[in-house]
Amino acid sequence: MGIHSASDPRPRTTLCGDYFYNYFSRGLDILFDGQTHKIKKFVLHTNYPGHADFNSYMKCNFIIYCCNCKFFSIFNRLWLSRNFLLMVASFLIEIPAVGGSFHNDVNGSKNAITPSTKWEQVKEILGDCGRAAIQTHGSTSNPFGSTFVYGYPNVAFEVMKNGYIATVTLFQS
């Protein structure tokens, strides 16, 4: 049939939109570029009660290391590399890292951000980031109220009113 032919003479007018892969059992969403099919964004969910997405996702057991607050420059270099994807996979399936496991290392590190890290601790580690954007999640359907989104280079933290982190979004600017 002509409509399924690869040599269809009609020009394509529709563009492929970006798309998400949702891993509810891992607490992770990945946004892909619709044209290049490369990763644009990771969304890590903490699954804390009091958030609109509570119990939609399992908790993502991420660990973000911030050695002297140079994490974000390291993140830029690793974004498209296989090492970064292995690092993210290690967070999700708890593969031991070189020299120990991520979970053992985080206990000794005061510059690590995990799902249980409160917002005040994040500010101590990363410094102040200014005013927050308010996210409502559709005020009529959300009984938990709004959350606050704070931004740093290449990362955004969605914080609930009780000071717990709801989501961490990693992206490349």
β-strand partners of 135: 147
In angstroms, rounded to a whole number, what is the distance separating the alpha carbons of residues 45 and 66? 19
Q: 7 vs 4, 34, 35, 63, CA distance in Å?
A: 9, 22, 20, 49
> What integer pLDDT is reported at residue 150 of this predicted model?
94
Tens digit of each residue's pLDDT, the chain (173 residues): 445 555 656 665 566 789 988 888 888 899 988 888 888 889 999 988 777 777 788 888 888 877 554 444 444 444 444 444 444 544 443 333 434 444 444 444 577 888 999 999 999 888 888 888 887 766 666 667 788 999 988 889 999 988 999 999 988 77
What is the radius of gyration, based on Cα positions, of the chain? 19
Contacts of 88 (CB under 8 A, 6+ apart): 42
pTM over 0.85: no
Beta strands in 3-146 (DSSP E): 19-23, 28-32, 39-45, 64-65, 112-113, 133-135
Contacts of 2 (CB under 8 A, 6+ apart): 8
Pairing of strands 39-45, 133-135: unpaired
The answer to whether the CB of 96 falls within 8 A of the CB of 105 is no
> What integer pLDDT is reported at residue 142 of this predicted model?
64
Domain boundaries, the chain: 18-171
